[in-house]
Amino acid sequence: MTNRIELYDTTLRDGTQMQGVNLSLKDKLELTTALDKLGVDYIECGYPLSNPKDAKLFEELAKRTFQNAKIAAFGMTRRRGVEAKDDVGMNALLDSGAPVITIVGKTWDLHLRDVLRVSDEDNIEMISDSVGLMVERGRECFYDAEHFFDGYASNPDYALETLGAALTAGASRLVLCDTNGGATTEQISSAITTVLETYPDAKVGVHCHNDSDLAVANSLAAITAGAVQVQGTINGIGERCGNANLVSLAANLHFKYGKEVLLEGSIENLTRISRLVNELANLNPYDGQPYVGTAAFAHKGGMHVHAVQRNTKTYEHIEPESVGNLRQILVSELSGVSNIAATVDPKFDIADDRDAQRRILERLMDLENSGYEFEAAQASMEMLVRKTLGDQWYHPLWTLDHYRCIIARTPNGLASEATVKLVIHDQPCHTVSEAEGPVDSLFCAMKSALTKAYPTVTELHLSDYRVRVINTEAGTAACVRVAIDWHDKTSGTYFTTVGVDQNVIDASWLALNDAIEYKLLSEEEADA
Residue 1: pLDDT over 80: no
Q: Are 11 and 40 in contact (CB under 8 A)?
A: no
On the question of pLDDT at 228 being above 70, the answer is yes
Residues 72 and 36 sit within 8 Å (Cβ to Cβ):
no
Strands 229-232 and 204-208: parallel
Which residues make beta-bridge pairs with 175? 144, 205
- Work out the burial of residue 391: count CB atoms within 10 Å of its CB; fewer than 13 is exposed, 13-18 middle, 19 or more buried: exposed
- Report strand pairing: 42-44 vs 328-329: unpaired
Domains of the chain: 7-280 (3.20.20.70), 298-369 (no CATH), 399-527 (3.30.160.270)
- pLDDT tens figures, 464-518: 898 988 776 667 667 899 999 999 988 888 889 999 999 999 999 999 999 999 9
**Pairing between β-strand 42-44 and β-strand 6-9 as defined by DSSP bridges:** parallel
Lowest mean pLDDT, pick from 293-297, 338-342, 394-398, 399-403: 338-342
pLDDT of residue 335: 58
Interval 347-378: pLDDT, tens: 888 888 888 888 888 888 888 878 888 877 88
Q: Which residues pair with 433 in a beta bridge?
A: 418
Predicted pLDDT at 153:
95
pLDDT per position as a tens digit, 44-55: 999 998 888 999
Each residue of 238-272: pLDDT tens digit?
999 999 999 999 999 999 999 999 999 999 999 99
- Burial class of residue 451 (count of CB atoms within 10 Å of its CB; 0-12, 13-18, 19+): middle
- Say whether pLDDT at 333 is over 60: no
Can you tell me the distance from the alpha carbon of 73 to that of 485, in angstroms, rounded to the nearest whole number?
41
Q: What are phi and psi of 518, to 5 degrees?
A: -60, -45
Most confident region among 23-37, 304-318, 348-362, 401-415 by mean pLDDT: 23-37
3-state DSSP assignment of residue 447: helix
Count of other CB atoms within 10 angstroms of residue 456: 15
Could you give the CA distance from residue 507 to residue 212 in angstroms, rounded to a whole number?
A: 41
Please choose, from the candidates 347, 343, 341, 344, the residue with its C-alpha nearest in 3D space to the C-alpha of residue 330.
343
Handedness of CA 211, 217, 219, 222 (dihedral sign): negative
Evaluate if residue 336 carries a pLDDT over 70: no
Question: Which residue from 164, 92, 176, 174 is spatially nearest to 133, judged by alpha carbons?
Answer: 92
Return the amino acid letter for 335.
S
Q: Give every CB contact of residue 1 below 8 A, 6+ residues apart in sequence.
A: 223, 224, 226
Rounded to whole angstroms, how far apart are CA atoms 465 and 483?
Answer: 6
SS3 305: helix
CA distance 340 to 356: 9
DSSP string spanning 126-139?
HHHHHHHHHHHTT-
User: Who contacts 228 (Cβ-Cβ below 8 Å, separation ≥6)?
Assistant: 2, 4, 5, 6, 173, 203, 204, 205
Handedness of CA 468, 473, 475, 478 (dihedral sign): negative
Of the ranges 115-124, 217-226, 429-438, which is most confident? 217-226
Instruction: Tell me which H or E stretch contains 101.
Output: strand 100-106
Which residues does 352 contact at the CB level (< 8 Å), separation at least 6?
A: none
pLDDT of residue 313: 84
Beta carbons of 405 and 442 less than 8 angstroms apart: yes
pLDDT exceeds 70 at position 387? yes
Rounded-to-integer distance, Cα 317 and Cα 323, Å: 12
